[in-house]
Amino acid sequence: MPEGERGSLTARGLRKAFGDLLVLGGVDLAARPGEVLSVLGPSGCGKSTLLRLLAGFERPTSGEVLQDGEPVRGPSPLRGMVAQAGGLFPWLTLRDNLAVGPRAQGRSRAETTELVDGLLARTGLEEFAQSLPRSLSGGMRQRGSIAQVLACRPPVLLLDEPFAALDAQTRLRMHEWLGSLLRASPTTTVLVTHDVEEALLLGDRLALLSARPSTVVEELAVPFGPDRGRAVLSDPAFVALKSEVLDRVLRA
């Protein structure tokens, strides 16, 4: 398959029950190669569950996940996931955290150093390379967690509300940073969030989940350019769309 066409991820009729609790009631969605698909839904609707199924960490009750047409049957380096709390190892420096994946993939020391240096630069964390995660701010830790996963160069990146724990200003800076990073990369991203602004700032498209048992009730293209910075927040079209989408989330 040509490089440019790799990285599609499709969920077909995904259902997931925990005992009597039906969380996902038949989710259908498809992330196209290279796009950022925001999956928006109310708290408790099953977003984290959906992401774990997409990652292959859990098996659906029925339905299937396909990556580039191949069934997902378990975790794979083809899919990198950043959990809500991030994933840095507390006992490793940031640099060593970023090097874990590439080293495990068999990259040479020189190759790994080059990759990690590039990521430290793109995350603006060069001067913290030798720091332990506990001495980093929340925003830096989340940037580091995303960089750690990107270091494995997965064609598909799965993000679970990565900035939910941050204050509003830091979150906005993170959105600008991540938006430009993702739009400049060939990685396909599925971002789940309850935050309408986050979904619209980062997504090329938006899939809206209903409350439990959740299904995709609507999909829409996000009609704003790739260089969406904080200025878009005061664009009347953005304000109107945000309020319309919020209404739908509250009704879903």
Q: Assess 113 for contact with Mg ion (CB under 5 A).
A: no
CB of 1 to ligand ADP, least distance (A): 31
Residue with tokens 């994933």: 87
- DSSP per-residue letters across 97-108: HHHHHHHHTT--
Q: Which does 23 bind (CB under 5 to 8 A by kind): ligand ADP, Mg ion, none?
A: ligand ADP
Cβ distance to ligand ADP smaller for residue 48 or 93? 48
Strand partners, 214: 24
Cβ distance to ligand ADP smaller for residue 46 or 60? 46
Contact positions toward ligand ADP, by CB under 6 A? 18, 21, 23, 41, 43-49
- Kindly provide the residue ranges of all beta strands, DSSP E only, lying in 19-153, ordered along the sequence: 21-31, 36-40, 62-67, 70-71, 79-82
Cβ distance to ligand ADP smaller for residue 49 or 97? 49
- Pairing outcome for strands 62-67 and 79-82: unpaired
The secondary structure of residue 84, as a DSSP letter, is T
Do 123 and 147 meet the contact criterion of CB atoms below 8 Å apart? yes
CB of 24 to ligand ADP, least distance (A): 8
Cβ distance to ligand ADP smaller for residue 129 or 211? 211
Q: Which does 234 bind (CB under 5 to 8 A by kind): ligand ADP, Mg ion, none?
A: none
Contact segment (CB under 5 A) with Mg ion among 45-53, 60-68, 73-81, 209-217 equals 45-53
Q: HSE (CB half, 13 Å, CA atoms) of 55?
A: 21
Cβ distance to Mg ion smaller for residue 51 or 152? 51
Distance CA 1, CA 192 (A): 28
CB of 48 to Mg ion, least distance (A): 3
Q: Assess 48 for contact with Mg ion (CB under 5 A).
A: yes
Instruction: Compute how many residues bind Mg ion; rule: CB under 5 A.
Output: 2
Do 209 and 29 meet the contact criterion of CB atoms below 8 Å apart? no
Q: Which two tokens stand for residue 92?
A: 């490793």
Q: Which does 78 bind (CB under 5 to 8 A by kind): Mg ion, ligand ADP, none?
A: none
Cβ distance to ligand ADP smaller for residue 37 or 115? 37
**E strand or H helix that includes residue 179:** helix 168-183
Distance CA 10, CA 117 (A): 33
CB of 209 to ligand ADP, least distance (A): 8
The footprint of Mg ion (CB under 5 A) covers 47-48
